[in-house]
Structures are given as structure tokens and as C-alpha cells.
Amino acid sequence: MAKIYLTIKNGLLVILLVTGLLTGCQKSVILEIADEEGCFLIIEANILDDGLRQYIRISQSTSYYEESEGKGIADAIVWLESDEKDYTFGAIMSEDRLGFYFNDSVSSELQGKKLDLFVEYQGTTYTATSQWKPVPEIDSVSLTLNAFSELGLTSDTLHEVWVHFRDLPSDDNYYLFNLYINGNIKTWRPSLKVVTSNENLDDYVSYSILSLRQDEIEEGDVIQLEIRSISKENYEFYNAFLFQTDFSGNPFAGAPPANIPTNISNGAHGFFQVSAVSRKSIVF
């Protein structure tokens, strides 16, 4: 384990706001950082009810100082269990799919089910549980010119992507949104994904997902929005990613360094989520 020494000046913000009111104190903090590859098992399991082939990815963590993806694991045993049936996920032994485990039948049989995930690797069994929940059907997708662009206040021309749908009656709905352009995912990083709860949503929702620069889309491009049902824990998982990455350098929005939450047992990282999904496309 490598040790990083940080100096924290607790009074810095106060000094900036009220000059001379306080002098900053200093405290040394030692962070224990994993400096070796493979310290943790990473399990990415987002299972959808769209009828398509589903996959689970198993990999190893990398060193804190390494920027590449972790090595895929090809010799794990992976399956899902429901009250009625087991679903085995098989590995494909090719270099570009190393660590991916596939199943062709589970997707069409998810509605209303609670599923348990099992991953056996090197004598340890890792488990997690997720409950399928319904998702609203998307009525439509629209694009508008960003208000600041319309006023000529931005250097780039920005287009706002909006989703429109009627929310479900339950009070504890959590949603994740993805954006695709010509079939390629735009919100590929966890911190780029848009998540929300319906706590502050109206019965009929018109929700701005994100802005696209003019150079990111061309006439004739197919823009597809996807909404998934997720659990409260998965909602908190993606919010933690956002605050630990994109907001981490902001003293007003950033959170103290902490591990990203997980619902997987025995020290593995990642998340297991079973989701209903709805999609809608428009042509730009």
C-alpha cells in the first residue's frame, strides 16, 4: 500500500470570506491507497428487461496510479437466481470480450421478479440482490436551443435534450437516463449518467437531460433517450460517482473522499441492478 500525505487547512475558506478573522490550523492525514493491481473484484451487472442479450462484466481493480481498465476475469462462475428459475451466464473466450458473461433468456423473464446474483471466484462467493420495478413509457423526446445560446451568451451553440413522460403513482421511484447518438452511448461514464427521484417531479414530467454542442450532432443523426428504473441504493451509487469525480475539485459541491457504495458482498466493488427500460428516438 502506498501512503499519500495531505495537508488540510481547516480555516482556509473562512479566511477567504472574512479576512483576518481566523488563522488556519494544519492537520496531517495519511490515506492508505491500493498501489497494486487486482486488490478488489469489480462486478458490473446492469440487467434490463428489453428482451436483448444481457451481460455481466467481471474484472480486477487497477493500481490507484493506473489509468487503464482492470483486467477481465474469464474463469469465474456467474449466475442469477429467482424464485422460479436459475440463469447461467457463460464467458466468451475472446480477447475483446474477456471478463464478459452472457445470457440470452433472462431479459424477457424479469418483470416483477427479485433476483439474486452469485459470482464464484477463487474460492469466494460474491452475492447481491435486486428487485425489478416498472418504469414510465417515454411520450416524446425534443430538442430546444439553450436559453443562453438563444441570447448569444455562449461561445458554442447548445441544444437542450428534453424527455417527456407521465410519472408512475408511487412515491419512491428512482430513474436513470442514458443518451445515445446513432447508437453510440453519450453518457458512458458513471458520472455522466443522469439520475433523479420522483420526489420533486410533477405528475407529467418535462425534464432536461443534458446539453449537446453543435459540433456533437449533425443533421440526420438519430438521438435516442433511455429511462431505466433503479433502486434508491443505485441512485446513491451514481450520485457518489458524480461527487467523487466531476465535483471533487469544487470546495462548495465536492464530498469528502470516500469509497463508492456497493450492494455486492465480501469486499467486491461495483453494483447489481435489475431495471425496466423505456426508449424513444428522434432525428435531428
Tell me the β-bridge partners of 32.
Answer: 3
pLDDT at 9 over 50: no
Considering only 12-21, 69-78, 162-171, 268-277, which range has the smallest mean pLDDT? 12-21
Q: What is the pLDDT of residue 274?
A: 98
Which CATH number is associated with domain 41-131?
2.60.40
More confident residue, 46 or 92: 46
Q: Which helix (H) or strand (E) is 54 found in, with range? A: strand 54-60
Task: Give per-residue pLDDT as tens, 180-218.
Answer: 999 999 999 887 899 999 887 888 999 999 899 999 999
- At residue 138, the pLDDT reads 97
Comparing 143-152, 205-214, 232-241, 243-252, the range with the smallest average pLDDT is 243-252
Cβ contacts of 143-149, under 8 Å, gap ≥ 24 = 143/212, 143/223, 143/282, 143/284, 146/211
pTM higher than the cut 0.75? yes
For residue 57, the surrounding DSSP H or E stretch is strand 54-60
Neighbours of 22 (CB within 10 A): 11
Q: Return the CATH number of 138-269+277-283, one of 2.60.40, 1.10.287, 2.30.29, 2.60.120.
A: 2.60.40
> Comparing C-alpha atoms, which of 239, 228, 225 is closest to residue 191?
239
Domain boundaries defined on the chain: 2-33, 41-131, 138-269+277-283
In this predicted structure, what is the pLDDT of residue 32? 63
Q: What is the pLDDT of residue 73?
A: 94
Please give the average per-residue pLDDT across 159-179, as a whole number. Answer: 93
Helix, strand or coil, per DSSP, at residue 220: coil
**Mean pLDDT over the full length of the chain:** 84
Task: Tell me what pLDDT residue 3 has.
Answer: 47
* Residue 96: pLDDT over 60: yes
Is 80 exceeded by the pLDDT of residue 10? no
Candidate from 84-98, 116-130, 162-176, 236-250 with smallest mean pLDDT: 236-250
Question: pLDDT tens digits for 28-84?
Answer: 666 665 555 557 899 999 999 999 999 999 999 876 666 667 789 999 999 999 998
